[in-house]
């Protein structure tokens, strides 16, 4: 951060106004993309799925909880994990604040994971979260919607095989943090997925999986894009109660 | 929602892949913009600002709390408001959960408003927030960073979001509309309500010197409304035809 260019307020304003034009163009492109997302076709979900929830077993339609839209984040928490992925956890840290606002926009917000419900419930208590967290354990759901890879699928993805055989340091640390081997750890896909419910039929409308620096990242990364140092790629989030001196 | 365009899974995948290319292109542009933001020159702060905080009176440099970067949300809560702006409150709901992560990335994030500290703290307790909130009551800070306006500026013009505005009178005098509604929600009148505007600013601390590095206003704050990005991916989108829908989290039916 040293030796940054220092200017007068007038010089800064001139540079800032120029940047504002680009930011405005970007906002317009974003809005255009949002429109194009609304235009994606919908695919009726033909199969019956059941999920374990705090209120007992539910179908996909029942997960909508009386609303017509369902938006879910798939937290990497496989059946063999001892705890959820720290990066996913940091993303989940800001869901609670938005939950009530989305619920009043006809959107039910929840998270999916493949670990059994009791594991999710214990971790949720530890993190102090309130959003609904649903287990896709023992269901085809995660595999059908590419939220998880089967052993056979994993064996066929060369990039994942390379990561398992020659894991970078951060990935080994990550495997320690979630308490499992990479072979099963990398079977879970961090992703957002959206569904609509209309006249009793559930439709799949949208999926966005990692890697993505805009949406499948905790939103504080975008706040870091506005700080003097910016987003530092080596930065990896820790669970909020695992930072040194963490009190919450 | 309009009648869905129903397709097979294969048709959806084809359309989705095409859209994904555009999403990736937008992400590349986001990265480019982030680089350009960091290339902005810095402006050394010459003026002495003081703030009331839960730990007593602090200077701008002291607000960094031992870190080298400071992100400020300019929360609309003027001296005569009885409660904070509802939209700013929804923004605060969103960033409250991420402050711990920013703090461990050398960034102190807080809100600054013009109301006296006791009023801010009472409202913070009501909302159940944890982020630090400082009061700039009686100082120039809000005016210098373009988020508070004098009565004279309201009448004869000023600048917001790097553009000049002629007068606020027509907006203030309108009987209905978002400003009238928000004025009621904050327990004030449109003129008092419009003395405050939302914004965010970033500062850097080098040695003893504080530098202003970035500010954004108006649509530049969409990023702080985490729920907008999610609504943009929900089947019906932002769905905002019927006007203001955001309320304080404890005021929804």
User: pLDDT 10s digit of each residue in chain A, 248 long?
Assistant: 567 899 999 999 999 999 999 999 999 999 899 889 989 999 999 999 999 999 999 999 999 999 999 999 999 999 999 999 998 999 899 899 989 999 988 999 999 999 999 999 999 999 999 999 999 998 999 999 999 999 899 999 898 999 999 999 989 999 999 999 998 999 999 999 999 999 999 999 999 988 777 777 777 888 888 888 877 665 577 788 887 776 54
Strands B163-165 and B158-160 turn out to be antiparallel
pLDDT of residue B120: 98
- In A57-76, the residues whose Cβ lies within 8 Å of chain B are 68-69, 71
Cβ-based contacts of B236 with chain A (< 8 Å):
38, 68-69, 106, 196
CA distances (Å), origin B232, targets A212, B3, B74, B78? 16, 18, 25, 31
- Helix or strand holding residue A184 (H, E): helix A182-185
Q: Measured between alpha carbons, how far is B31 from A139 in angstroms, rounded to an integer?
A: 38
* Dihedral sign from CA coordinates of A142, A144, A146, A149: positive
Alpha-carbon gap: B100 to the closest alpha carbon of chain A (Å)? 6
Q: Is B106 or A238 the better-scoring residue by pLDDT?
A: B106
* Predicted confidence (pLDDT) at residue B112 exceeds the cutoff of 70: yes
| Percentages (nearest 5) of helix, strand, coil residues in chain A | 40, 20, 40
Range list of H helices, chain B: 9-39, 60-63, 86-96, 99-103, 117-127, 141-144, 151-156, 169-173, 178-185, 190-193, 226-231
Contact A229 B106 (CB under 8 A): yes
Range B137-161 average pLDDT? 96
A to B CB pairs, distance under 8 Å? 270
Determine the 3-state secondary structure of A58 from DSSP.
strand
pLDDT of residue A234: 57
CA distances (Å), origin B160, targets B27, B33, B216? 28, 21, 10
pLDDT of residue A224: 84
Give, to the nearest 10 degrees, the angle between helix B117-127 and helix B86-96. 70
- The structure tokens 């010459």 sit at B46
pLDDT of residue A1: 56
- Helix or strand holding residue A110 (H, E): strand A107-113
Contact A42 B105 (CB under 8 A): no
Q: Measured between alpha carbons, how far is B109 from B71 in angstroms, rounded to an integer?
A: 5
From the list A222, A221, A94, A3, the residue with the least C-alpha distance to B223 is A222
Alpha-carbon gap: B166 to the closest alpha carbon of chain A (Å)? 19
pLDDT of residue B123: 97
From the list B185, B154, B29, B109, the residue with the least C-alpha distance to A223 is B109
Range list of H helices, B40-175: 60-63, 86-96, 99-103, 117-127, 141-144, 151-156, 169-173
A93 → chain B, closest CA residue: B97
- ipTM, two decimals, is 0.89
Q: Measured between alpha carbons, how far is A121 from A155 in angstroms, rounded to an integer?
A: 31
The pair phi, psi for residue B74, each rounded to 5°, is -85, 95
Residue B217 structure tokens = 């206003």
Residue A53 structure tokens = 């929830």
Mutate to test the interface with A, among B233, B242, B243, B252 (most CBs of A within 10 A): B233
Q: Which residues of A105-141 are buried (b: 16+ CB within 10 A; e: fewer)?
A: bbbbbbbbbbbebebbeebbeebebebbbbbbbebeb
Q: Measured between alpha carbons, how far is A215 from A35 in angstroms, rounded to an integer?
A: 16
Q: Residues near A229 by Cβ (< 8 Å), separated by ≥ 6?
A: A1, B38, B68, B69, B106, B204
B227 pLDDT band, cuts 50/70/90, is: confident
Range B93-107 average pLDDT? 89
B40 pLDDT band, cuts 50/70/90, is: very high
pLDDT of residue B3: 61
B12 → chain A, closest CA residue: A41
- Helix or strand holding residue A4 (H, E): none
* Predicted confidence (pLDDT) at residue B2 exceeds the cutoff of 70: no
Question: pTM to 2 decimals?
Answer: 0.92
Determine the 3-state secondary structure of B33 from DSSP.
helix
pLDDT of residue A248: 44
Q: Measured between alpha carbons, how far is A161 from B170 in angstroms, rounded to an integer?
A: 64
Q: Residues near A182 by Cβ (< 8 Å), separated by ≥ 6?
A: A163, A164, A167, A171, A175
B20 → chain A, closest CA residue: A208
The pair phi, psi for residue B68, each rounded to 5°, is -105, -5
Range B91-109 average pLDDT? 90
Mutate to test the interface with B, among A198, A227, A246, A248 (most CBs of B within 10 A): A227
Alpha-carbon gap: A156 to the closest alpha carbon of chain B (Å)? 21
- In A172-201, the residues whose Cβ lies within 8 Å of chain B are 192, 194-196, 198
Per-residue DSSP letter, B2: P
Mutate to test the interface with B, among A2, A110, A228 (most CBs of B within 10 A): A228
Strands B133-135 and B107-113 turn out to be parallel
């Amino acid at each position: 951060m040293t030796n940054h260019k220092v200017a007068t307020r007038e010089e800064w304003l001139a540079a800032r106004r120029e940047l504002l034009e680009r930011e405005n163009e970007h906002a317009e492109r974003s809005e255009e993309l949002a429109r194009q997302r609304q235009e994606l076709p919908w695919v009726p979900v033909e199969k019956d799925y059941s999920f374990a929830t705090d209120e007992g077993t539910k179908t996909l339609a029942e997960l909508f909880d009386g609303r017509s839209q369902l938006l879910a984040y798939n937290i990497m928490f496989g059946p063999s994990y001892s705890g959820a992925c720290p990066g996913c956890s940091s993303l989940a840290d800001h869901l609670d604040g938005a939950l009530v606002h989305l619920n009043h926009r006809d959107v039910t917000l929840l998270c999916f994971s493949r670990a059994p419900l009791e594991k999710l419930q214990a971790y949720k208590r530890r993190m102090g979260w309130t959003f609904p967290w649903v287990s896709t354990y023992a269901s085809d759901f995660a595999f059908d919607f590419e939220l998880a890879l089967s052993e056979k699928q994993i064996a066929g993805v060369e990039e994942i095989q390379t990561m398992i055989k020659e894991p970078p340091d951060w990935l080994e640390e990550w495997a320690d943090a979630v308490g499992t081997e990479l072979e099963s750890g990398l079977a879970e896909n961090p992703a957002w997925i959206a569904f609509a419910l209309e006249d009793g039929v559930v439709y799949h409308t949208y999926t966005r999986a990692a890697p993505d620096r805009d949406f499948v990242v905790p939103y504080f990364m975008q706040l870091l894009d506005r700080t003097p140092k910016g987003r530092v790629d080596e930065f990896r989030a820790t669970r909020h109660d695992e930072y040194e001196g963490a009190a919450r | 929602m309009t009648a869905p365009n129903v397709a097979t899974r294969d048709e959806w995948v084809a359309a989705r892949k095409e859209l994904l290319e555009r999403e990736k292109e937008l992400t590349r542009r986001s990265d480019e913009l982030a680089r350009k933001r960091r290339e902005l020159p810095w402006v050394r702060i010459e003026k002495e600002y003081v703030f009331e905080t839960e730990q007593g009176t602090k200077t701008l440099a002291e607000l960094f709390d031992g870190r080298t970067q400071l992100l400020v949300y300019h929360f609309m809560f003027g001296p005569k408001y009885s409660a904070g702006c509802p939209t700013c409150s929804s923004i605060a709901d969103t960033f409250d959960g991420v402050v711990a992560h920013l703090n461990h990335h050398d960034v102190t994030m807080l809100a600054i408003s013009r109301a006296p500290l006791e009023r801010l703290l009472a409202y913070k307790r009501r909302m159940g927030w944890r982020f630090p909130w400082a009061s700039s009551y009686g100082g120039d800070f809000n005016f210098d960073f373009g988020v508070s306006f004098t009565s004279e500026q309201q009448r004869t013009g000023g600048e917001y979001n790097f553009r000049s505005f002629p007068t606020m009178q027509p907006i203030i005098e309108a009987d209905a509309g978002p400003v009238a509604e928000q004025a009621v929600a904050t327990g004030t009148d449109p003129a008092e309500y419009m003395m405050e505007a939302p914004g965010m600013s970033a500062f850097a601390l080098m040695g003893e010197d504080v530098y202003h590095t970035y500010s954004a206003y108006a649509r530049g704050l969409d990023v702080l409304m985490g729920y907008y990005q999610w609504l943009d991916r929900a089947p019906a989108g932002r769905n905002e035809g019927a006007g203001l829908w955001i309320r304080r989290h404890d005021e929804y039916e």
